[in-house]
């Protein structure tokens, strides 16, 4: 990748001296980060016990042992005998000191704003928990949450977990079939939804979608509806309940259920390459602790911070944000509208208006906002920002630098973060103690014994290899819902006791890590393995291209050839001259062996609702084979674009 050799940000004394990491190391007499990291992966019991104490986590019943792998590393149990309800840690333990502090800020697309303190959030959570108990929902029942990401969405997740039930986060933009498949798979007892929400000034009729989904899921006994837009909606008496009517008479006190650290609190579905989506099971002592540790020490999130992450509840970053921010006593900003509507500077104005200090935005969103130009950013005062985050897709250097220079003013580090739904956060990330190169990661996050290996499982440097994890961590999924064999086959079947994540990674000569893409997206031309991000970065660096996707297609001579799809910037028209120029640019920067067989122009690329380009779907559509699971597609019309591309 171009530009990767140059360090563009170095930590200042202010970032270092105020960091949680430095305070943690001093508390334990550790002189440097490398020593801390090594201890975090060689002495798991010490590290995870130390962070629990450092963060002041409250245990209903103390654990007798940090972890137990006697049943096999894939089924490691954590916090043995411990009772832990993460909602108590996110709310109750803060009330005495932070009860009047703002926990949630909210802005809707039409400009309405709202703020809730920790005390107000706890009261609303308790009312909803009491209402659900009155309906007969009990510990262990599954409850779908299909809502725009506003205060009630966060309250719903906390209320379900507080009473010991299990919530299923569902993307707010899903169609009925995708909603139904998830509710049916886990035999959900209830669904929490809204009457509708707004996108680009138009109403999205959420309740109608929920009704269509529920018709095919006989296990659903109750549908709880938040009056978000005050719309008149279809109604089924006895099954449907208005949120406000249910909670109005309820007490604002409801103690947290005594849940063990191993009790599930969430089943979050991820799309598979083939077959039905995977129901990833997470427990109270897993995801909430792992995610919070990453936020605290990787993102240096502190009580004085306000975080905004461009996400949805259906993407793991939604639950991650809600749980982590509240557990750490900070403030979150929630927004459920388009980021460039009604003005192109809406996203940047949002950050300014709410004085956001930590902003997380995916590479795909930055590439989209670049089309509106730098002027939209410059109209806003973003000096409140101190940290930038990103996850979801590999970066290209030009968008990374645009984000760094224009949004962060060249002073804020971009804390790149990559892991997954099954991880409960990151495998690799950055810290405020380390310098940065464009698109890079510092390396594995604390507690993650990650490595990059070749086809024989041996560590590799300077070449693309497979990302693996060699020791357990608390956030490891407890398997797929009612499908343990699929879990083992997906992650543990290649090498004994090694988690194979499915990402290609390269470590450069200075020790910086780079995600090259999913291993099932990787292209192999005449024996040379290349991640799609490398070729896409070349294309996006051309002034005419805003987004790109590269795939490998069968080739009798080379094994695979490269085919590229390019989305052009506004005002640029496709031409044979431009196609030839893009092909030549790839040749010049990547070599003749990787000369694209074709460069095709499209108006859009198929993406998931968490902004990942679905290269496997692009490849399948181009080759005319089965598309596999497409339930997470944000823009299905883009698949037709691939078929028509010229």
Average of pLDDT values for 90-96? 98
User: Does pTM top 0.95 for this prediction?
Assistant: no
Rounded Cα–Cα distance for residues 642 and 613 (Å): 13
Q: Greatest CA span in the chain, whole angstroms?
A: 73
The per-residue pLDDT for range 290-314, each reduced to its tens digit, is 999 999 999 999 999 999 999 999 9
Enumerate residues 6+ apart whose C-beta is below 8 A from 576: none
- 240 neighbors 215 (Cβ within 8 angstroms): no
Return the CATH number of 521-644, one of 3.40.50.1820, 1.10.1740.110, 2.60.40.10, 3.30.300.30. Answer: 3.30.300.30
Answer whether residue 274 shows pLDDT above 80: no
Rounded Cα–Cα distance for residues 41 and 33 (Å): 13
Residue with tokens 């007499």: 29
- 634 neighbors 608 (Cβ within 8 angstroms): yes
Q: What is the pLDDT of residue 275?
A: 56
Q: What is the pLDDT of residue 555?
A: 84
Q: What is the pLDDT of residue 175?
A: 87
pLDDT band at 3 (very low <50, low <70, confident <90, very high): very low
Q: What is the pLDDT of residue 1?
A: 40
* Percentage of the chain exceeding pLDDT 90: 82
Answer whether residue 270 shows pLDDT above 90: no
Average of pLDDT values for 335-341? 94
Answer whether residue 386 shows pLDDT above 80: yes
Angstrom CA distances, 216 to 170, 179, 211, stand at 17, 10, 9
Rounded Cα–Cα distance for residues 99 and 120 (Å): 8
Ordered by start, the domain boundaries in the chain are 13-91+263-515, 99-247, 521-644
The per-residue pLDDT for range 153-194, each reduced to its tens digit, is 999 999 999 999 999 999 998 889 889 999 999 999 999 999
The per-residue pLDDT for range 414-433, each reduced to its tens digit, is 999 999 999 999 999 999 99
Does the domain at residues 99-247 carry the CATH identifier 3.40.50.980?
Answer: yes
The per-residue pLDDT for range 123-152, each reduced to its tens digit, is 999 999 999 999 999 999 999 999 999 999
The per-residue pLDDT for range 21-47, each reduced to its tens digit, is 999 999 999 999 999 999 999 999 999
* CA nearest to 337, candidates 170, 108, 528, 516: 108
The per-residue pLDDT for range 472-509, each reduced to its tens digit, is 999 999 999 999 999 999 999 999 999 999 898 999 99
The lowest-confidence range among 48-62, 398-412, 620-634 is 620-634
Answer whether residue 257 shows pLDDT above 90: yes
- Pairing mode, strands 240-242 and 222-226: parallel
pLDDT band at 2 (very low <50, low <70, confident <90, very high): very low
Average of pLDDT values for 322-330? 98
Q: Please count the residues of the chain.
A: 646
Q: What is the pLDDT of residue 339?
A: 95
* Equal fold, 99-247 vs 521-644: no
DSSP per position, 337-405? S-TTSSSTTHHHHHHHHTT-SEEE--HHHHHHHHTT-SHHHHTS--TT--EEEE-SS---HHHHHHIII
Phi, psi of 115 (to 5 degrees): -135, 145
Q: What is the mean pLDDT of the chain?
A: 93
* Percentage of the chain exceeding pLDDT 70: 97
The per-residue pLDDT for range 348-382, each reduced to its tens digit, is 999 999 999 999 999 989 988 998 999 999 999 99
3 state DSSP class of 634: coil
The per-residue pLDDT for range 566-614, each reduced to its tens digit, is 999 999 999 999 999 999 999 988 888 789 999 999 999 998 776 778 8
- 336 neighbors 150 (Cβ within 8 angstroms): yes
Q: What is the pLDDT of residue 422?
A: 95
637 by Cβ neighbours in 10 Å (0-12 / 13-18 / 19+) ranks as: exposed
* CA nearest to 447, candidates 467, 465, 428: 428
3 state DSSP class of 332: strand
Q: What is the pLDDT of residue 610?
A: 67
Answer whether residue 526 shows pLDDT above 70: no
The lowest-confidence range among 7-21, 38-52, 264-278, 576-590 is 264-278
CATH topology of domain 13-91+263-515: Rossmann fold (3.40.50)
């Amino acid at each position: 990748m171009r530009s990767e050799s140059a360090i563009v940000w170095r930590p200042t004394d202010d970032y270092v001296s105020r960091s949680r990491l430095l305070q943690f190391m001093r508390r334990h007499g550790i002189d440097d980060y490398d020593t801390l990291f090594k201890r975090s992966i060689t002495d798991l019991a010490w590290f995870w016990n130390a962070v629990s104490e450092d963060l002041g986590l409250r245990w209903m019943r103390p654990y007798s042992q940090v972890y137990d792998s006697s049943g096999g590393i894939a089924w490691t149990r954590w916090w043995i005998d411990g009772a832990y309800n993460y909602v108590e840690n996110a709310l109750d333990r803060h009330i005495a000191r932070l009860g009047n502090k703002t926990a949630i800020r909210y802005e809707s697309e039409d400009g309405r704003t709202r703020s809730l303190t920790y005390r107000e959030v706890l009261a609303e959570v308790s009312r909803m928990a009491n209402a659900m108990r009155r309906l007969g929902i009990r510990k262990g029942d599954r409850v779908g949450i299909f809502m725009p990401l506003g205060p009630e969405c966060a309250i719903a997740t906390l209320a379900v977990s507080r009473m010991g039930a299990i919530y299923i986060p569902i993307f707010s933009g899903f169609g009925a079939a995708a909603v139904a498949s998830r509710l049916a798979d886990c035999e959900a007892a209830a669904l929490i939804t809204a009457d509708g929400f707004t996108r680009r000034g138009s109403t999205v009729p959420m309740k109608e979608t929920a009704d269509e989904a529920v018709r095919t899921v006989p296990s659903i006994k109750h549908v709880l509806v938040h009056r978000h837009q005050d719309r008149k909606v279809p109604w089924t008496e006895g099954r449907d309940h208005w949120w406000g009517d249910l909670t109005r008479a309820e007490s604002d006190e409801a103690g947290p259920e005594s849940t063990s650290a191993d009790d599930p609190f969430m089943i979050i579905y991820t799309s598979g390459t083939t077959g039905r989506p995977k129901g990833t099971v997470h427990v109270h002592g897993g995801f909430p602790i792992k995610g919070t540790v990453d936020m605290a020490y990787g993102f240096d999130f502190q009580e004085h911070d306000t975080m905004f992450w461009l996400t949805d509840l259906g993407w793991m970053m939604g639950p991650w944000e809600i749980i982590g921010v509240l557990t750490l006593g900070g403030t979150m900003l929630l927004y459920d509208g388009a980021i460039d509507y009604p003005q192109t500077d809406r996203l940047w104005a949002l950050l300014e208006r709410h004085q956001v200090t930590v902003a997380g935005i995916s590479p795909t969103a930055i590439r989209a906002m670049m089309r509106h130009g730098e002027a939209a950013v410059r109209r806003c005062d973003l000096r409140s920002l101190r940290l930038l985050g990103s996850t979801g897709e590999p970066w290209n250097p030009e968008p990374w630098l645009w984000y760094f220079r224009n949004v962060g003013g060249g002073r804020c580090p971009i804390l790149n973060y990559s892991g997954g739904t099954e991880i409960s956060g990151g495998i690799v990330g950055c810290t405020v103690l380390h310098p940065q190169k464009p698109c890079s990661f510092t390396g594995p996050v604390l507690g993650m014994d990650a490595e990059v290996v070749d086809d024989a499982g041996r560590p590799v440097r300077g070449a693309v290899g497979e990302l693996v994890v060699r020791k357990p961590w608390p956030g490891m999924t407890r398997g797929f819902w009612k499908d343990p064999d699929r879990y083992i086959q997906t992650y543990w079947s290649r090498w004994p006791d090694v988690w194979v994540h499915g990402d290609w990674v390269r470590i450069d000569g200075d020790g910086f890590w780079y995600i090259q893409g999913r291993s099932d997206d990787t292209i192999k031309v005449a024996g040379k393995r290349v991640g799609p991000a490398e070729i896409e970065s070349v294309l996006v660096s051309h002034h005419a291209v805003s987004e790109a996707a590269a795939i490998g297609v069968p080739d009798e001579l080379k094994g695979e050839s490269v085919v590229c799809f390019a989305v052009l910037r506004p005002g640029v028209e496709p031409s044979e001259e431009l196609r030839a120029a893009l092909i030549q640019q790839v040749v010049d920067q990547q070599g003749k062996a990787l000369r694209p067989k074709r460069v095709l122009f499209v108006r859009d690329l198929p993406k998931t609702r968490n902004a990942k380009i679905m290269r496997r779907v692009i490849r399948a559509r181009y080759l005319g084979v089965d598309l596999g699971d497409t339930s997470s597609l944000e823009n299905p019309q883009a698949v037709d674009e691939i078929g028509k591309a010229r």
